Structure 1
Amino acid sequence: MAGAESAGHALELRGLSKRYGGFTAVDAVSLRVERGQFLTLLGPSGSGKTTILMMIAGFVAPGEGAVLLDGRDITALPPERRDFGMVFQGYALFPHMTVAENVAFPLRVRRLGRAAREEKVRAALDLVQLSGFADRRPSQLSGGQQQRVALARALVFDPDLLLLDEPLSALDRKLRAELQEELKALHRRIGRTFVSVTHDQEEALSLSDQVAILNHGRLVQLGPPEALYERPRTRFVAGFLGHSNFLRGTVREVAAAGSVVQAGGTRLLQRDEPGPPGATVLLSLRPEKIALLAEGEGAENAVAGSIAAWAYLGAGYSLSVATCDLGVLHVALPAWRAPIAPREGLPVRLGWSAEAAVPVLEDADAA
């Protein structure tokens, strides 16, 4: 198989759109994937992510826009001439073929000689750690092993690009987490450009160099996972990528030390400048950035409340705390040596730093 130094190809989408009658599935999406990057298209059902993947693969023709590979327009190129590998949600293995025969299938279609074909199949199975499974049939494999066979088949012919359509969705949670690590390590080893589709936020954060968040066919925000999580641009992004509390208030003061936002009877210190005095602002505050304050302990922002509901999640507690001015705040509390034993009605004080919350746009404003 080709080395990592020559494996990556740059992909660019320019104004890609697709309509079905009066329904717009994809609306003027433009983005670029650099050589060797792992891009994930993330969004809820009906957001357009799978349609975009199918347009990249060539199975769906765009109504408008272009698909470019290394600057070359391939929009009109049929799928079989794009030389892209693809892993489908259900793996699509041939049940009557052995593992080796499944992996060799793309090479047989390309009329590669037997000796070269066998060498490439061995290398591909080694790559996905299935070298001892060549003579088995798909029915004799676990879900995780079938996924590896599908990966080997998609990589065996040294494709220009690897496309993955919900590749881990059929696996249980534990196996999915293990395969995420393996897929990420595989991407690093071979250096190819990967484009994946998922609706699983944790999977997108774990695997990707870049995440494109889609909603109603539009690209809402594109960036590295850390940037999207820590600095969401809109309410939709903050709420879809993880969990968030939303605090609405009015800017009262703007100073070098930060802005003061009035939310009901509570004054919040905000390090980012969310807007000019008098502006109505919306702040996103992640549950894990809120701390429980001990008696007498201060914080840049503090509010009193009582536990309305709680749940034990193993590594931590999920608390819903009712406050007078800010509504119900959701708090992620580590369970190890937790400062309280949660119970409904328990009075608590919450605190967070002025950097913890970030201003976000209402989704109508972002459009």
Structure 2
Amino acid sequence: MSATAHALELRDLTKRYGQFTAVDAVSLSVQRGAFLTLLGPSGSGKTTILMTIAGFVAPSAGMVLLDGSDITPLPPERRDFGMVFQGYALFPHMTVAENVAFPLRVRGLSRADRDAKVRAALDLVQLDRFADRRPSQLSGGQQQRVALARALVFDPALLLLDEPLSALDKKLRAELQEELKALHRRVGRTFVNVTHDQDEALSLSDQVAILNHGRLIQLGAPEALYEQPRTRFVADFLGKSNFLQGLVQESHLGGLRVQSGATTLVQQAPRALRPVAGSPALLSLRPEKIALLAAGETAENMVEGHIAAWSYLGAGFLLVVRTADLGEIRVTLPSWRAPIAPAEGLAVRLGWSADAAVPVLDDAA
């Protein structure tokens, strides 16, 4: 970790525009040198939070703290944060080196100091060969790396990223994700990223804050959020999930027995998420955790159905299996040596273990 990495904290951060609440009492902490992603759909408040951290938006209530000190009243120029925007915001009339040097010129550094820092920043993003080119002579990915170099060249306290990869095509976006993650490791700074791309959030982040309607729904490590979502919204937004509904027949230390039509489901559940007998249950089951059962093979949970639709995705197949009691269930399986040749109408048996699904709160309304 860099000695200049800083810790960030938001306390009950709120932003209202008239009667509309864009950010609703959001509190979270980012450790020194961590990579936090604010993830949510359009209108969830993630960009407003980022702009409030940057100082471009004044909160209606709450505080922004850096290393425990309240910086809420400080204007953007006194926060010393680097920022990378979706559209790069490079000066077209300047060379790459001049673009990167701009923050240093504003801060009054000498020509010699500027040149040394620009060379180091361009070397960091592997663009030292392009110092004399104009932005128009660069690819989208190269322009984004110039924007990153410019944001890091003055040793900012934090690096703020506003959907920096969304303007790139899928393949280039994946490549830049790897580069951005490696860059974060090299510089050791605290990064705060905004995206609506779930794959980006999972692959880049130490922590992900999932937002909806201005509220923080769940905060945690990517794996924890994916494997143990607390609500239907989190399970559905971060990846794909099947939602199985039923009535709790038994609730005990070992978990649950849930009845859905004629199908009985056996489900492990921690005490905090264990609904009582007689209450409705909602289970989130990821498509990749479901197996196709061979003749005579059994599992803790089993259901029969037939393939209503299927898609070839290269690395795997996506099957939509229609069942009598559980509705349509989506299943993913590797295409390499797949156990079946998918076909509409084909009868299949599905199976999964008692710990494959997780009970979630139904916040769909």
TM-score bracket for this pair, using the shorter chain length: over 0.9
Partner in structure 1 of residue 114 of structure 2: 117
Partner in structure 1 of residue 345 of structure 2: 345
Structure 2 contact 2–33 (Cα < 8 Å) conserved? no
Partner in structure 1 of residue 149 of structure 2: 152
Structure 2 contact 119–128 (Cα < 8 Å) conserved? yes
Map 1:221-300 to 2 at 5 A.
Answer: 221-273=218-270, 274-300=274-300
Counterpart AA for 1:6: A
Map 1:94-243 to 2 at 5 A.
Answer: 94-243=91-240
Distance across 1 between alignment mates of 2:265 and 2:167: 45
Partner in structure 1 of residue 11 of structure 2: 14
For residues 169-209 of structure 1, the C-alpha deviation after alignment (integer angstroms, 9 at most, x for no partner) is: 01100010000000000101111000000000000000000
Partner in structure 2 of residue 328 of structure 1: 328
Structure 2 contact 14–60 (Cα < 8 Å) conserved? yes
Counterpart AA for 1:140: Q
Counterpart AA for 2:101: A
Distance across 1 between alignment mates of 2:320 and 2:87: 38
Distance across 2 between alignment mates of 1:99 and 1:254: 63
Structure 2: runs of 5 or more not aligned? none
Distance across 2 between alignment mates of 1:105 and 1:116: 13
Distance across 2 between alignment mates of 1:253 and 1:45: 40
Relative to the length of structure 2, the TM-score reads: 0.98
Structure 1 contact 7–190 (Cα < 8 Å) conserved? no
Distance across 1 between alignment mates of 2:214 and 2:323: 37
2:360 maps to 1:360: yes
Measured after TM superposition, the shift of residue 363 of structure 1 is 1.2
Match of 1:6, SS state, is coil
Partner in structure 1 of residue 31 of structure 2: 34
Structure 2 contact 54–160 (Cα < 8 Å) conserved? yes
Measured after TM superposition, the shift of residue 258 of structure 1 is 3.4
User: Share of identical aligned residues, percent?
Assistant: 78
Distance across 2 between alignment mates of 1:364 and 1:208: 26
Measured after TM superposition, the shift of residue 7 of structure 1 is 2.4
Relative to the length of structure 1, the TM-score reads: 0.97
Structure 1: runs of 5 or more not aligned? none
Runs of 4+ in 1 over 6 A off after TM superposition: none
Measured after TM superposition, the shift of residue 349 of structure 1 is 0.3
Counterpart AA for 1:346: L
Distance across 2 between alignment mates of 1:268 and 1:109: 64
Distance across 1 between alignment mates of 2:184 and 2:161: 12
